[in-house]
Amino acid sequence: MTVVAALGFTITADITALSIGPSDTGPIGTSTISMVATQQTSGTVSLSASSNLSPSNAPTFSFNPAQVVLHQGGTNSSLLTVSVANNTPHFTYNVTVSAQLGQIINNVTILLVPTTLTVQPGVVKGVATGNTFTISVDTSAANLFGWQFQLSYNKTLLSASTSSVSFGSFWTAAASTQQAFLIKRVNQTSGTILMAVTLFAGAKTFTGNGTLATITFTVKTVGITALGLTSDFLINGVGLGQTLDFSPKNGLFCNSTCLDHDVAVEKFTITPSTATIGANVTFDATVSNIGLNTETVQLTYSLVTGGGTPLTARTFSLAPGNTTDITYTYSTSNSIPGASTITVHVAILGSSDLNPGNNDLSTQVTLSTGAPPTSIPYAYIIAAVVGVAIAAVAIIMLLRRRSSGQTRYPKKPPQPPARVK
């Protein structure tokens, strides 16, 4: 029987925020739910959790155990595990954890935050030469303890300096109280800006949506450039400080002919370029979105030598200013000897590419039926020739001695004179 007193119990969670990454599947984190009874309360507490959003494949919640017993003035706890599927929508979820003891229900809230790193605004256009514009690098995360990013840009088109770069208010405030260490490096020669922060032990971590840094650029000429994020990481302040899973979203600047829809094959390689039939070779294509809209892109590898036979196709989403590598391992088992030309082609699904001239690249792979001949070092060749020459000289000298017909014996020693009797 459950006994309920008027003053009830309290409930707390040791972890009140968790991050959801784009590649996360299964359990993404745990939180210990603790309950403390008053001196007049005891009984069995049942635990449950629900979210303010209920999309298809929403996060799921489990407790171990799902019920706990509270004694008067005592404490008890249960471990909450939050899990997601590979197609769980990346929303911000407010999860209400409820603990019910008879008619008493106490709640605690846990926040689920999608982990992001983005350049805002995603597209900047129309800024004339000599003028400036400002972008921010924003994040959403839970318990963020440290971070780093490098932003790359076209140095002939834009310029920045240390004075035109600043940190977001949360990180500036932490540094002002000696709770954070800040790093910023602007290299106009290479067209890169490196920024990083780490909080010190005991500092309050960051949860929610906010700005990591702002950057003001001066426009030097006319053109188009990606504002690309690389060398980036976000570190969770819970536990051992593991890195958070996220997909960075780059920005794009354009003050020339800015096309609404334009994707391009930037590079295409085949490794190795020479192989024996039956071996695997790797195709690697670099694709960029230099248009102003997020596109659904289809990439196709084709064997031109075989009459344009498609080998494989991949479909993916690409935001403005973003670049991705698409690799494919190709088996040459059914190929013919000789040089084969492979073409990679990209197309925008649902829209027309307004600059189709950059949609294709081709390269060759040469196939043979056996292992390619091994080259012999010149030193080995010279040593072999010298060895043959020495052997030839020795044979000639031996033949000459035999052809002379003279057999030489050693001379006998002189005999002593005979004695006269």
Residues 267, 300 contacting (CB under 8 angstroms): no
| Structural domains of the chain, with CATH | 9-113 (2.60.40.2310), 116-254 (2.60.40.680), 263-368 (2.60.40.3880)
Residue 421: per-residue pLDDT: 40
Q: Is 177 exposed, middle or buried (0-12, 13-18, 19+ CB in 10 A)?
A: exposed
Per cent of the chain over pLDDT 70 is 85
Q: Would you say residue 410 has pLDDT above 70?
A: no
Q: What tokens does 70 get?
A: 């509270």
What are the tens digits of pLDDT across the range 299-318?
999 988 756 688 899 999 99
| 49-91: pLDDT as tens digits | 999 998 999 999 999 999 999 999 999 999 999 999 989 999 9
